[in-house]
Amino acid sequence: MKKIFSIIALSALIGITGCKKDFLSLENNPNTPSVATPQFQLSGALAVSANLYNANVTAAGNGAISVTTGGYPATVGVWMGYWTASGNYVPNSALNTNNFTNTAYQIFTLFYLNLSNYNDLVKKGTADPTLVNFASIGTIMKAFEFQTLVDTYNNVPYTDAFKAPDVLFPKYDTGESIYDDLLKQLDGAIAAIKSAPATAVNPSTSDIVFKGVMTNWIKFANTIKLRLAIRQWNKLPAKQAALKTAILATSADGFVDETFQVAANPGYANDDANGGKQSPFWLSYGSNATGAVSLPGDYYKANNYAITKLRNTNDPRLARLYAPASAPTDPLVPYFGNIYGSTAPSNNPKTSGIGPGLLKGATMDAVLMGSAESLFLQSEASVYGILPGSAQSLYEKGITASFTTLVVPNAATAATTYYTQPIANVSWTASTDKVQAIIVQKWTALNGYGNIEAYNEYRRTGFPADIPVSTQATQPTVPSRIFYPATELSNNGDNVKAQGTINQFTSKIFWAK
């Protein structure tokens, strides 16, 4: 075995504070990590989370975040039929064929480095009861990001993570066992917030998500619990009774709903002189302070599939999710998308870009979980009998929340007009498969801000059932996962190899259909 310990062990030794840093540089002594106040550490970790879920990021050679055209969020946006590559650039063979390697689309290192911050917050709260709110937020965010790791890679280091120097080569836990423990951890965080002593420090403005409103953190924790339960509900029926009990145990405290979303904003500004003052979604797909369009924003354009689907259902979100082409081939058809994998894609003036409902400005919030996603989760839970309430009402609230987020004019009225059309997977009553209707509408609502989650839901349910595969794909199917990174294979090889041979088309996450 190589005498190099894994990046997961390294992250436990050094921690991060949200800034770009060469974690492997010999100039940094991992035995004398910098010490941050819990306030600064919380703000920094939440800002990095905002980047991980909103920017089109990949891991740079030193573990830092790098905005790129080869990042995971945009790639799965292409796989989900939202976007395609611009005709202005040399075709990307890996993207068009899905014949990628273990260096492509990586988020593994970035997530573990940030998780080390949340883990340290939990330790601080354990040592000092006045920091219980910081520890609870750390636990909730650990659950949120570990779920993403499981949903991306299946089995990953969990119980052995962050135990350096005692454990330098962390073993891999099964995705299902991690899910089970995350439910328990979230219950613990909810209980800790509710029983916090009067002396507990409120995170206040250092909490760049909820500004110290701890009841919202409880609702977010409940919504993550619901996502964990729904994700495995149909695949593991033997667990359904236990999952329902787990959800009902804290459901009275509420969920994320139409009154708020989970979004970070540390005070974004239209100034990227230091490479990151702008909101991360805008930084990736909008323009810099001088007005120059970002490379990912110039590269990713509309997919014909999404535009056709929105147009066929008279969905006014079309004009919010996509921008009209500046010089369309047919002026009467200003919204135009390329076919994924086309060998002759149209150039940018003829193609729609990412729309104004998503690109609101350099100071826009960075969404971690939108209201619509939570409402659709609750609707599906109602269909299954997990939660009481009207599945139809929650479904329609989810659609309305999506209209509101995208700033559709007269959003509530426009949403009602839309979902009362007698069209399957639009109107609740016209939809014979209620779960399919929920997931199809969730697919629309997750466009842009929730590409990763849309990919997760597609692999879980198979909806939308007509998602197109690239015309150049080596397999007639959307990839089922990405590979463990080459860096982890080099540094923690024995434990990676113990997971068996991974195939991007046939190796599935434990909950996948």
Residue 9: per-residue pLDDT? 56
Residue 12: per-residue pLDDT? 52
Per-residue tokens: 425? 């997977």
Residue 292 located in a structural domain: no
Amino acid at residue number 155: N
Which pTM was predicted? 0.94
Per-residue tokens: 422? 């007698």
Residue 508 located in a structural domain: no
Rounded (5°) CA angle 233-82-292: 135
Full residue range of the structural domain in which residue 31 is found: 7-70+105-266+480-497
Q: Is the peptide bond prior to 464 cis by the omega test (within 30 degrees of 0)? A: yes
Q: Which three-class secondary structure state does DSSP give residue 338? A: strand
Judgement on whether residues 457 and 378 belong to the same structural domain of the protein: yes
Judgement on whether residues 43 and 118 belong to the same structural domain of the protein: yes
Judgement on whether residues 38 and 175 belong to the same structural domain of the protein: yes
138-160 residues labelled b (16+ CB within 10 A) or e (exposed): bbbbbbbbbbbbbbbbbbbbbeb
Among 23, 31, 4, 9, smallest CA distance to 171 is for 9
Residue 376: per-residue pLDDT? 99
Torsion of Cα atoms, 114 then 117 then 119 then 125, to 10°: -150
Judgement on whether residues 380 and 488 belong to the same structural domain of the protein: no
Residue 11: per-residue pLDDT? 58
Judgement on whether residues 260 and 358 belong to the same structural domain of the protein: no
Four-residue CA torsion sign, 130, 134, 138, 139 = positive
Residue 273: per-residue pLDDT? 66
| Residue 23's CATH number | 1.25.40.390
Torsion of Cα atoms, 289 then 295 then 300 then 301, to 10°: 60
- pLDDT tens for 180-192 read 999 999 999 999 9
Residue 306 located in a structural domain: yes
**How far is residue 505's CA from residue 195's CA, in Å, rounded to a whole number?**
46
Judgement on whether residues 424 and 344 belong to the same structural domain of the protein: yes
Among 365, 354, 357, 383, smallest CA distance to 260 is for 365
* DSSP-derived secondary structure for 402-453: HHHHTT-TTHHHHHHHHHTSS-TTTSSTT-S-HHHHHHHHHHHHTTTTTHHH
CB 407 within 8 Å of CB 320 = yes
Judgement on whether residues 384 and 438 belong to the same structural domain of the protein: yes
Residue 66 located in a structural domain: yes
Residue 289 located in a structural domain: no
The 10 Å Cβ neighbour count of residue 199 is 8
- Print the SS3 string covering 149-166: HHHHHCCEECCCCCCCCC
**How far is residue 378's CA from residue 508's CA, in Å, rounded to a whole number?**
25
Torsion of Cα atoms, 173 then 175 then 176 then 177, to 10°: 30
Q: Which residues of the chain have pLDDT under 70?
A: 1-35, 58-66, 273-275
Residue 250 located in a structural domain: yes
Find all residues with CB under 8 Å of 460, minimum gap 6, and list them. Answer: 231, 234, 235, 511, 512, 513
Q: How many CA atoms lie within 13 A of 270 on its CB side?
A: 9
Tokens 């397999």 belong to 475
Residue 426: per-residue pLDDT? 98
48-80 residues labelled b (16+ CB within 10 A) or e (exposed): bbbbbbbbbbbbeeebbbbbbbbbbbbbbbbbb
Residue 402: per-residue pLDDT? 98
Judgement on whether residues 122 and 15 belong to the same structural domain of the protein: yes
Rounded alpha-carbon distances, angstroms, from residue 443 to 130, 402, 406, 462: 41, 11, 14, 11
Strand stretches in 53-137, DSSP E? 57-59, 65-67, 83-85
Judgement on whether residues 358 and 321 belong to the same structural domain of the protein: yes
Judgement on whether residues 356 and 458 belong to the same structural domain of the protein: yes
Judgement on whether residues 177 and 213 belong to the same structural domain of the protein: yes
Judgement on whether residues 122 and 247 belong to the same structural domain of the protein: yes
Task: Give the total number of structural domains in the chain.
Answer: 2
Residue 271 located in a structural domain: no
Residue 93 located in a structural domain: no
Residue 56: per-residue pLDDT? 87
